[in-house]
Amino acid sequence: MSLFEQMAGMSGNLGENMGAYQEIFSWCQQEGGISGLLEKFRQSGLSGIVDSWVSSGNNLPISSEQIASILGSPVIAGLATKLGIDAQSASGLIAEYLPKIVDGLSPNGHLDENNDLVSTGLSMLKGKLFG
């Protein structure tokens, strides 16, 4: 099962949730893209965790508390507002799905720096809807 199939299954009908997925992908881009987010984690001493997501091995977990600490309350609150959920739930979603997103975008053990997450993610999701 692909990453985007997993995301689609997490909350039901893909078509009804397209806006939420678009918000998440847009939010990632606003935070400097996947590379920018990963750099924040590396600067906070979590290089080993981040590198596990990019590598072809198993992904090490990250906690919602670590997410909140590294990204900060305003960033988490902004995403939470866009999604219509509380900040703790937003941190939990990021902790659950960011490793999977990074893993999905780095199948060969490296992250494509030119990858446009919004375009790539939405194209994959639309393929599930219409293809």
Q: Selecting from 1.10.1060.10, 1.10.3470.10, 3.40.50.2300, 1.10.10.690, what CATH number does the domain 18-130 have?
A: 1.10.10.690
Buried b / exposed e over 35-72, threshold 16 CB at 10 Å, is: eebbebbeeeebeebbebbbeeeebeebebebbbebbe
Least reliable range by pLDDT among 3-7, 19-23, 112-116: 3-7
Decide if pLDDT at 130 tops 50: no
pLDDT in tens, 14-68: 455 556 667 777 788 888 888 888 899 999 999 999 999 998 889 999 999 999 9
pLDDT above 90 coverage of the chain, percent = 29
Q: What are phi and psi of 37, to 5 degrees?
A: -65, -45
pLDDT of 86: 92
The answer for 88, left when phi > 0, alpha when psi is -120 to 50, beta otherwise, is alpha
Higher pLDDT residue, 91 or 109?
Answer: 91
The pTM of the full predicted model, rounded to 2 decimals, is 0.72
Q: Where are the domains of the chain?
A: 18-130
Choice between 126 and 74, residue whose per-residue pLDDT is larger: 74
Q: What is the mean pLDDT of residues 98-126?
A: 66
What is the average pLDDT score of the chain? 76
Q: Which amino acid, one-letter code, is at 50?
A: V
What's the burial of 91, exposed, middle or buried (CB within 10 Å: 0-12/13-18/19+)? Answer: buried
